[in-house]
Structure 1
Amino acid sequence: MAADTAEGTAGTDDAGRRREQRGWYFYDFACSVYSTSVVTVFLGPYLTAVAKAAADDDGFVHPLGVPVRAGSLFPYAVSVSVVVAVLVMPMVGAIADRTGRKKPLLAVTAYLGAGATAAMFFLEGDRYLLGAFLLIVANASLSVSMVLYNAYLPQIAEPEERDTVSSRGWAFGYTSGALVLLLNLVLYSGHESFGLSESEAVRICLASAGLWWGAFTLVPLRRLRDRRVATGELPAGGGVGAGWRQLVATLRDMRRHPLTLSFLLAYLVYNDGVQTVISQASVYGSEELKLDQTTLITAVLLVQVLAVAGALGMGRLARSYGAKRTILGSLAVWTLILVAGYFLPARTPVWFYALAAAIGLVLGGSQALSRSLFSHLVPRGKEAEYFSAYEMGDRGLSWMGPLLFGLTFQLTGSYRDAIISLVIFFALGFVLLARVPVRRAVAAAGNPVPERI
């Protein structure tokens, strides 16, 4: 998404810019609880249980007449949501770029997602179709809203402060995720003392994430401002065509920087593995390892806390060994985590906690270092444009992991086979990244080559 040409950060006083930055942080604070509490912890096991309640004697449900194993419904719905998001992103991106009206679009996508999440309170009995529909709407809305959210960064932060501003937003998100998950743990583990059934407690946790998302979105909507652009009209062909033409133009420009494109491909592959492990871990823990919901919530809370420490630790390693080597090391650890998960015995919370700790230590760092390494490979003056392709490409491929996970379970009936199948993303990503000569790539992009990278 191109930065507005008529007005960026230039002419914005420091106090006004800081005010916008503080407001910007709060969207991460608002929406991260959806990723943590809904996708990572509660919805996977709960929607799977709802689907099982509606399944036939062979364990299949039949949405639109298509036979789907009940345990595959959740990963399939995640994959569909990603496809929907990728189809919508170019249209929204084109409208936002050419009108400068990012804030109203952010409001629409944020509240559509928050509303769908809050409506999950009504997911009970055998309403698996309602659950799948709400998941698709909420997930797609979050993805599109994040493109708009990220597009503000070049406008509210000077180049030398973008790393700091971006990192603070990331930290705000993990903080809110941990806080709300802790409250969820109290409600879920003590649901009987609150006079609630287990199902009611889960539905309240799901709905509360939507309410939190909607409430704290008010902060960025009050503090962020739209920028004037050179023209307010979309080019001929409409929003969708303009958006796709813009994305195609960026990818064509990337062909002049093939090493940058090579890194982006490697990132898209291994990040798909990361996102799939996070989204499917609770289903694996509940269905295959037979762990209760309290154990799963506590494990995810552990991941949230250690992700911050892991990112700081990996940042120190990167200063000594370079970002590329540190990321490669993290991919090796991710592969070991999947292998360990495959052999993890059922009903042993202590080993699941150990696995969660390992995930936490590499999760934040592998994502943060990937973003910072990519920033060195972007030609100067095209930061927003390239990071838009980075975001859209990320969303565009992140359906492959859940699809492979769901298909493997569909064919084998084994979650252990499904989880070990994800090794291919980390192995292939490792090979692709190892082949990228990052020092040459930085120089080819016209940027100064750091001493360690």
Structure 2
Amino acid sequence: MSANLAPGVSRREVWAWAMYDFANSGYTTVVITAVFSAYFVGVVAGGATWGTLAWTSALSLSYALIILSAPLLGAYADAYACKKRLLLLCTLGCVASTAALALAGPGTLGIAVLFIVLSSLCFGSGENLIAAFLPEIARTDALGRVSGWGWGFGYLGGLVSLGASLAYVSWAQAHGQTAAQFVPVCMLITAALFALASLPTFLFLRERSQPQLQAGAKHSARVAFARFAQTLREAGRYRDLLRFLACTVSYQAGISAVITLAAIYADQVMGFSTQDTLMLILLVNVTASVGAVLFGHLQDRLGHVATLSLTLLGWMLMIGLAWAAEGPPLFWLAANIAGLCMGASQSAGRAIVGLLAPPTRLAEFFGLWGQAVKLASILGPMTYGLSSWLSGGDHRQAMLITGSYFVIGLLLLASVDLKRGRRAALVDQPHSAVG
């Protein structure tokens, strides 16, 4: 492992960095994918036809807030070398808001929307900040492997949170409890595990960046705006990054739709119970962990673009199988192909941004990546939600329409030249701060 790490980086520090992926994966697995999404539609919204659209709209609002704030938050973190402090604030916000989802029950739409927006905003902001540490701890030729370790470890964290929730749900159902009784407890379990598992990150991960300020510059939010404005003026220098961000918007739209609506699709189309869905997501997290690690090693050998192309082809296969599935066996196969591709594509995307980001602007450029991911997180689920609504609840058609995003992403990826993009990143000069 040591040969893959940047000088001065210990194995313990890489473990502490990966532990954040371990910690926050419980939120996406339990809240967004497996438990709260179906609970929101079936219980909070009372099974109304507008429930799926309300769920995707609430998430889209949080993603819109991230789109507006991510590059500025990243520019501020780079200017003042405070990624870790901002990460702590985002973590506390997500943990508290996730715990507050326990207050949501039948008819409490306002409470559910408020805390899903707040928790998702804090989660997405923290996700961008932790990713910005990757180029500081990994060698350039090992970004794929180290990113893959983080994602792979992260899916194991999702397994822990989901496993704990599944155990509680099984116990609660055996004692005659309803979803309105056991889902709030699952939110508390998820929040507690997030808080506990993230502790090593704040104890052992180092802030290596240096403040990008002129001598005597004042501590001001104006610095973030000035840095981001300069990045916009120089956008033409980073054409390969821009092309990859466009590619990211497309393929991540498809991934976001699958992640956000998997439990709803399983419930509405396949007739899965809550326990069936939890078991499915549990197994998918195993395959996702395997996919992240295996493809992480593969992309450093085969190439990032080629590896990501393979995963997008896999996503297309998965969409076709899910659309054609009439019973559980074929749907289980499709779900596990999605797991393999999910781990691989998420890991590859983070590594590619690490290559294309200037060393003095890591948080800002990962903020741009986060902006692209969250724009995708609006497009994908909203496309699915609107397709389902306009078709009178035809989830199969909605799934097929959403799959077109992977085709577009593959076409856009062909235009990205990583060597040229890396050269542009390395000739970058530090910003001059506003005093």
The normalised TM-score by structure 1 is 0.82
Q: How many residues align?
A: 421
Match of 1:32 in 2: 25
CA deviations 1:73-124 (Å, max 9, x no partner) are 1111111110122233345334433333333322221111111111122211
* AA matched with 1:44: S
Alignment of 1:143-292 (within 5 A): 143-157=124-138, 159=140, 162-193=143-174, 196-226=177-207, 229=211, 231=213, 239=221, 242-292=223-273
How far apart, CA to CA, are the structure 2 residues paired with 1:167 and 1:263? Answer: 19
How far apart, CA to CA, are the structure 1 residues paired with 2:31 and 2:214? Answer: 38
Match of 1:5 in 2: none
CA deviations 1:329-371 (Å, max 9, x no partner) are 32223123223322322xx322221111111222112222333
Alignment of 1:253-332 (within 5 A): 253-314=234-295, 318=299, 322-332=303-313
- Provide the secondary structure at the position in 2 that maps to 1:421: helix
1:394 matches 2:408: no
1:41 matches 2:11: no
C-alpha RMSD over aligned residues:
3.3
Give aligned-pair identity as a percent. 27
* AA matched with 1:405: Y
CA contact (8 A) 2:288 2:343 kept: yes
The normalised TM-score by structure 2 is 0.85
1:370 matches 2:349: yes
> Structure 2: which 5+ runs fail to align?
428-435
How many angstroms does 1:308 deviate by? 2.6
How many angstroms does 1:422 deviate by? 0.6
Provide closer, same or farther for how the CA distance between residues 370 and 141 of structure 1 changes in structure 2, counting only shifts above 3 A.
closer
Q: Among residues 89, 113, 116, which one is paired with 1:135 in the alignment?
A: 116
How far apart, CA to CA, are the structure 2 residues paired with 1:305 and 1:283? Answer: 21
How far apart, CA to CA, are the structure 1 residues paired with 2:155 and 2:357? Answer: 27
CA deviations 1:248-293 (Å, max 9, x no partner) are 4334434124234223311221122112211111111112322111
- Provide the secondary structure at the position in 1 that maps to 2:35: helix
Q: Among residues 397, 400, 408, which one is paired with 1:428 in the alignment?
A: 408
Provide closer, same or farther for how the CA distance between residues 196 and 71 of structure 1 changes in structure 2, counting only shifts above 3 A.
same
How far apart, CA to CA, are the structure 2 residues paired with 1:322 and 1:156? Answer: 20
CA contact (8 A) 2:145 2:296 kept: no
* AA matched with 2:30: S
Q: Which moved more, 1:377-386 or 1:131-140?
A: 377-386
CA deviations 1:163-188 (Å, max 9, x no partner) are 55433322221111112212222222
- Provide the secondary structure at the position in 1 that maps to 2:198: helix
Provide closer, same or farther for how the CA distance between residues 252 and 276 of structure 1 changes in structure 2, counting only shifts above 3 A.
farther
**Where in structure 1 do 4 or more consecutive aligned residues deviate above 6 Å?**
232-237, 443-447
Provide closer, same or farther for how the CA distance between residues 229 and 382 of structure 1 changes in structure 2, counting only shifts above 3 A.
closer
CA contact (8 A) 2:70 2:125 kept: yes
* AA matched with 1:400: L
Provide closer, same or farther for how the CA distance between residues 98 and 378 of structure 1 changes in structure 2, counting only shifts above 3 A.
closer
Alignment of 1:68-79 (within 5 A): 69-79=50-60
Q: Which moved more, 1:164-173 or 1:261-270?
A: 164-173
How many angstroms does 1:244 deviate by? 4.4
* AA matched with 1:43: F
Provide closer, same or farther for how the CA distance between residues 442 and 110 of structure 1 changes in structure 2, counting only shifts above 3 A.
closer
- Provide the secondary structure at the position in 1 that maps to 2:271: coil
1:84 matches 2:70: no
CA contact (8 A) 1:268 1:393 kept: yes
Provide closer, same or farther for how the CA distance between residues 119 and 381 of structure 1 changes in structure 2, counting only shifts above 3 A.
closer
How many angstroms does 1:197 deviate by? 3.3
* AA matched with 2:70: M
- Provide the secondary structure at the position in 2 that maps to 1:403: helix
Q: Which has the higher contact order (CA 8 A, sep 6+)?
A: 2
> Structure 1: which 5+ runs fail to align?
1-8, 61-68, 448-453
- Provide the secondary structure at the position in 2 that maps to 1:192: helix
How far apart, CA to CA, are the structure 2 residues paired with 1:43 and 1:371? Answer: 27
How far apart, CA to CA, are the structure 2 residues paired with 1:226 and 1:392? Answer: 23
CA contact (8 A) 2:75 2:363 kept: no
How many angstroms does 1:393 deviate by? 2.6
Q: Among residues 411, 419, 422, which one is paired with 2:399 in the alignment?
A: 419
